[in-house]
Structure 1
């Protein structure tokens, strides 16, 4: 396809205009922007960057009258006279001599900055760097402050009251379990993040996966000519101290752009979890109760790297390669104290569990990408090839000691395990964009991915320092999945009316094989299904200025089970708490409807309705006195959401961004207890205030609050937090020192009740290490040549918007 398009371009004969751009000293201005205009109406015909020798050439021109304009930062614009092309002749223009502007680049002070939140027709964009309190934070903490996003104590992410959101990094799925995703996001410093795109109804270009929509985290990538870098380091003190260091550098010369981001953080966190359980007989008479107190003190050393190169083989063609890597060793000593009471509330026994684990997660990947822009109208072809390999391993030791109330040891049990896991991901996709007449554009693409996972669970009973295999829990699970997809997307503007509609087709093929052992037979399953996913957006400007806009949208999504949820293994927390996978999980499907009204960039009001079938949610059921947590299909979910988003500036030195929503979650369906019917209204709000105190001093006050809500079996109680930060710019504003206090009043405490458990009730309460003070230093340095910003439709900009 690429060769055919290039061949077709080469066969088009026409006129030619060439020239050279120089400065007042007759030196070439490498990278100057040269624009070809139609003399009749100043319409842009084409544009390009001047070559290292300052030369430029426009070819295959039709007979017409043209104007050529050259621009370069720090210099006055140069505009030629009329250039006439007749009978396909070639015109060589006199040298363009650009004189310096009245002010040098160093004297230009940039005082404006992007709003924290920006609304678009199909997404909400969060500019990470706009908040001082994001300094020293990690990606998961930044997400928790984004509009409509909620992160619980375990790192699970919900969006606008719904679970099952697809988290992407630079337009690529992470392919990680919830636990590994939380670990990975904690290892990403905020200094490496550029924007967060929140899409509750993504366009057809994106994977249909993600019941609650897509969260796309875009990392920083600089293509300014020359060498430049940003280094940052911070020290934080919470329950324990932690550090975070990173460097983001870029070097561009001629046609080559090299970039890298390296980050390292060393942290130890703390969490106390209390679970109270009461057990009953069939007549609701109490039989016993249990109080579990767990202490988690994970110590992590995370190292991550993202490095790559872009090669601009021509003004229209860019090749790129990106390498990513992450190493996250983890050590945790998590004692659990269990107090077992009889039916009269008298202490029956205590069980002390020492859970010691050593874990390691590594991820490495390579991406090859290509962008070709055929002409100045935006006709573009891109492709991406990806390979990702995730390897994790865990070695745990459980020591359970049971005591009578007088302290007499009655039983001791030792269990050890080894849990290796490997995931290989292969992906290829091609996207093509073709502008049409009348402010219209057609996009199409195909994608194919293949994933294979290999998970083992090796359990051993240890007696007198002799280990024997526990065949009841030992197993190995293999899973393979292939997804083939294609989409087409069309958008057009008719005066005040804009339309964007798309259709995506996805074919899924998955097979699972649970290997047996001497006590258990093999088992396997296969899933094959093909689905269509339509999307549509209708926008109407209520006035000619476009200040008042109505947007109506619809989209259909799928939530496939993640690989960890399909894994049928049992994972132990303590003697009374297990986690187990479910190989019989079915995908869930969601229909999303939304109506929104926006006034300028000041505020947006929206009402949304979502209907989900075969809802996947964490479920808790009881087997004897043991609580088993697994992911199950629990019927249907209906969510009605009303939200308001505002960006205000009451006075010049104070800007405010607020987001508030009221939503109702209703769950209905078959369940362990026979039938689940749960419904609750929830209010949630988050916002930030930014204060410009002087040219070098600024401050911020932010926070969120959420009332009680329901999520399947779980009913949470109200919680929230307040954050404060202050910043001082130094060293000619190239560096900054920031002090940030997260959760000032230590009010964030995710807690609630677990309902619909046959023969039992349960409550949970978390004490989380979120009250953290951070002192951070950031410094930008490097020398770069004065070059104009990249073209909005250029290859380099296109790369930033697609998978790197």
Structure 2
């Protein structure tokens, strides 16, 4: 009985205490205004308790802010906005007597001294180092005027582009390229075309991550490159427009406009860009053929000219609807449209083993191609309270379609130029890819500087590619069943992740784990001469990641960062397609249905001295390395991809940021690394080890009265990648700009590849009875004049931009 009474008494005490407990929370709210009493949208509002940050929010469209669910105690506010004097409140007491503290309107005054400082030093550093990424601020270099996104990438630290438009990061292929956190769903060729159509004036920054956190898809063996586009985020109509014209071998032009209109609960935004160029490329190839004893059998040299006329358009449009101060519903459409027309003559000289001319082939190849990429995104975001608890949900559908019409006309001549015969082949190559993704991410901050991120994602991909080849016989198309094909592919990937972040006095810790389950089915449909073939693949993998940052001093000037991550490199969708594509009479390409994913373990130890100096040691081990390979079949070279074995990468990277004078800033990045390839290449053992290095540098000059300039470039030594050896690459760039129209406009003149030094040359080896060389000459020497103009208010606060749930699927589409 006594026990029951005690329990009853405790129960009553608990019930009586509920009102008191419920009242142990309060709010702090207010409004931030400018000197003219207009709201300061996006002002940064920080709430402190005993010198610890409780929460940080941005002022809303009416300048208002509110911190909720606060425990009783003493607080202070700190408010700031660009170009305005900062504000710090007196102590604010949240108690049972005053649970709701309404702060009088906070008026921020213009700070002339601060504004002056911003005009002089407000430009962001060209490169910034963070715990898990390196940030490149695109607009810091005037020489980026008139450039496109691919050219800007080539100037970024550790990034290079090979002769086949593959993007390499710190000497490694297989990097995942995102646009605003969303992949492009494009092959290497189409991705390069898209990036060439995206003007630098539309870019904000580039994030380079060789060891990305668990929030990102595990795809991308070499890491992740995230390209952030510009966003205008203020009330009313805001935006920017840019136009540039350039001259190389042929003229080129780019135009872009970025608009944002925000009123009440609705935010509308759109960005449009269009680019035209006629590229130029001269490719010289040589091929030596010999028997098993090394006796020369034949020799071929070829000269190919490419002059494609490219038209590219990009559009992004969307709407954000603010359901409440905590919830936003958005919809985004992203479209890419491209067409290319190329008339490429090919001259082939065939020699016997004694290097005596045997015959000549003159080819007239035509390749007309167009593709479109249409993406639709529905997103929802909810912020639960001022502490940062947030849920984001994305639904995406993307449709990629392409169509190419090709013709190969070959005229055969004897050594004395006597006409012998002609061959003609035509082809139609349609392709369609549908991608569906759903994704949810949740962020949960804890007290004492800790945070947990969790999320799930599921994607479904279906592809349909066809290659229809016809030989023209007596002016009649006859199906070539040897290479005519249709390939169907389906893929479902389900993933979930956890990522925990905790800051201590001198240590910052970030731990992540991602799990992915893949289910794949491929079907090569047969024809009259070839049977059907199918394959099925199922696997589940774990991808841990970890970062530990340690401050070597109390102010955090010197830090050590140790990181680890496991990643996967999945094949491009078309790389699994076994059918053959023609490039010319002696060059084919083919997929490999047995191509396996490659798995990567990355380790990195870095030392940072503020933003001035950094040094890193990097080790990477790749298993089942996917390499581009060339196989000999008679006189024909067949390009494909295969798992050749393992690669061990050991590299050292360093960066230095100097300011020799108030008007002069210097940034230098350099790396040196050794790649060791071990495995089997066809029937031969492959054991190659090679050292390579690269240097990127930039100089920025602030000349006064709105004038600024920059000069920079990059150099890379000879590199080896399985069968391929690439000669050194070098390029120098310069630019000058002048601010006009009360600093709202910028006029820029830039020159890239000043001395026409950039060429992509090399050799192909490790074939049983052949070897080859290649020599590429591009229209990389370009002079560009550009004009940009910003209108409306400029600020960094305000609306969000959702890009969608897709993180890796778009990056795996290849021709």
Contact 1:76/1:98 (CA < 8 Å) preserved in 2? no
- Residues 729, 393 of structure 1: CA spacing in aligned structure 2 closer, same or farther, 3 A cutoff? same
Asked if 1:344 corresponds to 2:354, the answer is: yes
Alpha-carbon distance in structure 1 between the residues aligned to 2:45 and 2:214: 33
Secondary structure, counterpart of 2:194 in structure 1: helix
Alpha-carbon distance in structure 2 between the residues aligned to 1:274 and 1:722: 24
Alpha-carbon distance in structure 2 between the residues aligned to 1:27 and 1:654: 39
Once the two structures are superposed, residues 685-727 of structure 1 have per-residue CA deviations (whole angstroms, 9 ceiling, x without a partner) of 1111111122321111111111111011001111211111111
After superposition, residues 504-543 of structure 1 pair within 5 angstroms as 504-543=514-553
Contact 2:68/2:385 (CA < 8 Å) preserved in 1? no
Alpha-carbon distance in structure 2 between the residues aligned to 1:98 and 1:439: 30
Asked if 1:645 corresponds to 2:655, the answer is: yes
Between 737-746 and 70-79, the greater mean CA deviation after superposition: 70-79
- Aligned residue in 1 for 2:190: 180
Asked if 1:166 corresponds to 2:176, the answer is: yes
Alpha-carbon distance in structure 2 between the residues aligned to 1:732 and 1:25: 21
- Aligned residue in 1 for 2:233: 223
- Aligned residue in 1 for 2:276: 266
Once the two structures are superposed, residues 63-120 of structure 1 have per-residue CA deviations (whole angstroms, 9 ceiling, x without a partner) of 4455677777788777777665554766585863748557599988533211111111
Contact 2:146/2:784 (CA < 8 Å) preserved in 1? yes
Between 97-106 and 703-712, the greater mean CA deviation after superposition: 97-106
Alpha-carbon distance in structure 2 between the residues aligned to 1:192 and 1:305: 12
- Residues 623, 29 of structure 1: CA spacing in aligned structure 2 closer, same or farther, 3 A cutoff? closer
Cα deviation for residue 494 of structure 1 reads: 2.5
Q: In the alignment, which of 105, 110, 123 is matched to residue 119 of structure 2? A: 110
Contact 2:622/2:647 (CA < 8 Å) preserved in 1? yes
After superposition, residues 457-606 of structure 1 pair within 5 angstroms as 457-606=467-616
- Aligned residue in 2 for 1:672: 682
- Aligned residue in 2 for 1:747: 757
Alpha-carbon distance in structure 2 between the residues aligned to 1:560 and 1:25: 56
- Aligned residue in 2 for 1:137: 147
Cα deviation for residue 311 of structure 1 reads: 2.4
Between 100-109 and 657-666, the greater mean CA deviation after superposition: 100-109
Secondary structure, counterpart of 2:759 in structure 1: coil
Secondary structure, counterpart of 1:133 in structure 2: helix
Alpha-carbon distance in structure 1 between the residues aligned to 2:38 and 2:763: 71
Alpha-carbon distance in structure 1 between the residues aligned to 2:395 and 2:601: 31
Cα deviation for residue 38 of structure 1 reads: 6.5
- Aligned residue in 2 for 1:321: 331
Once the two structures are superposed, residues 310-341 of structure 1 have per-residue CA deviations (whole angstroms, 9 ceiling, x without a partner) of 22333322222211011101101111110000
Cα deviation for residue 675 of structure 1 reads: 1.2
Aligned Cα RMSD in Å? 2.7
Q: How many residues align?
A: 786
- Aligned residue in 1 for 2:695: 685
- Aligned residue in 1 for 2:7: none
Contact 1:318/1:796 (CA < 8 Å) preserved in 2? no
- Residues 15, 31 of structure 1: CA spacing in aligned structure 2 closer, same or farther, 3 A cutoff? farther
Contact 1:329/1:359 (CA < 8 Å) preserved in 2? yes
Cα deviation for residue 174 of structure 1 reads: 2.1
Q: In the alignment, which of 747, 767, 773 is matched to residue 757 of structure 1? A: 767
Between 387-396 and 563-572, the greater mean CA deviation after superposition: 563-572
- Aligned residue in 2 for 1:8: none
Asked if 1:663 corresponds to 2:673, the answer is: yes
TM superposition score normalised by structure 2: 0.91
Alpha-carbon distance in structure 1 between the residues aligned to 2:775 and 2:399: 36
- Residues 74, 553 of structure 1: CA spacing in aligned structure 2 closer, same or farther, 3 A cutoff? closer
- Residues 554, 68 of structure 1: CA spacing in aligned structure 2 closer, same or farther, 3 A cutoff? closer
Once the two structures are superposed, residues 458-494 of structure 1 have per-residue CA deviations (whole angstroms, 9 ceiling, x without a partner) of 1111122211111111110000111111111112122
- Aligned residue in 2 for 1:408: 418
Asked if 1:96 corresponds to 2:105, the answer is: yes
Alpha-carbon distance in structure 2 between the residues aligned to 1:716 and 1:73: 47
Cα deviation for residue 194 of structure 1 reads: 1.0
Alpha-carbon distance in structure 2 between the residues aligned to 1:19 and 1:588: 53
Q: In the alignment, which of 695, 699, 711 is matched to residue 709 of structure 2? A: 699
Contact 1:78/1:96 (CA < 8 Å) preserved in 2? no
Alpha-carbon distance in structure 2 between the residues aligned to 1:511 and 1:733: 56
- Aligned residue in 1 for 2:633: 623
- Aligned residue in 2 for 1:423: 433
Contact 1:118/1:124 (CA < 8 Å) preserved in 2? yes
Secondary structure, counterpart of 1:182 in structure 2: helix
Cα deviation for residue 49 of structure 1 reads: 3.4
Cα deviation for residue 175 of structure 1 reads: 2.2
Once the two structures are superposed, residues 714-767 of structure 1 have per-residue CA deviations (whole angstroms, 9 ceiling, x without a partner) of 011112111111112222221122111111111111111101111111111111
TM superposition score normalised by structure 1: 0.92
Alpha-carbon distance in structure 2 between the residues aligned to 1:285 and 1:545: 69
Q: In the alignment, which of 447, 455, 460 is matched to residue 445 of structure 1? A: 455
Contact 2:23/2:96 (CA < 8 Å) preserved in 1? no
Once the two structures are superposed, residues 410-440 of structure 1 have per-residue CA deviations (whole angstroms, 9 ceiling, x without a partner) of 1211100000000111111111111123222
Cα deviation for residue 255 of structure 1 reads: 2.6
Cα deviation for residue 225 of structure 1 reads: 2.0
Alpha-carbon distance in structure 2 between the residues aligned to 1:595 and 1:29: 46
Asked if 1:717 corresponds to 2:724, the answer is: no
- Aligned residue in 2 for 1:241: 251
Once the two structures are superposed, residues 17-41 of structure 1 have per-residue CA deviations (whole angstroms, 9 ceiling, x without a partner) of 6887597999774748695857876
Secondary structure, counterpart of 1:572 in structure 2: strand
Alpha-carbon distance in structure 1 between the residues aligned to 2:556 and 2:74: 34
Contact 2:27/2:69 (CA < 8 Å) preserved in 1? no
Contact 2:32/2:59 (CA < 8 Å) preserved in 1? no
Secondary structure, counterpart of 1:129 in structure 2: helix
Secondary structure, counterpart of 1:210 in structure 2: coil
Between 63-72 and 547-556, the greater mean CA deviation after superposition: 63-72
Contact 1:116/1:127 (CA < 8 Å) preserved in 2? yes
Asked if 1:363 corresponds to 2:373, the answer is: yes
Cα deviation for residue 181 of structure 1 reads: 1.1
Alpha-carbon distance in structure 1 between the residues aligned to 2:458 and 2:431: 23
Alpha-carbon distance in structure 2 between the residues aligned to 1:540 and 1:631: 42
After superposition, residues 729-744 of structure 1 pair within 5 angstroms as 729-744=739-754
Alpha-carbon distance in structure 2 between the residues aligned to 1:802 and 1:720: 38
Between 332-341 and 563-572, the greater mean CA deviation after superposition: 563-572
Alpha-carbon distance in structure 1 between the residues aligned to 2:540 and 2:505: 38
- Aligned residue in 2 for 1:3: none
Q: In the alignment, which of 733, 737, 740 is matched to residue 727 of structure 1? A: 737
Between 158-167 and 42-51, the greater mean CA deviation after superposition: 42-51
- Residues 50, 274 of structure 1: CA spacing in aligned structure 2 closer, same or farther, 3 A cutoff? closer
After superposition, residues 272-291 of structure 1 pair within 5 angstroms as 272-291=282-301
Q: In the alignment, which of 209, 214, 217 is matched to residue 207 of structure 1? A: 217
- Residues 714, 424 of structure 1: CA spacing in aligned structure 2 closer, same or farther, 3 A cutoff? same
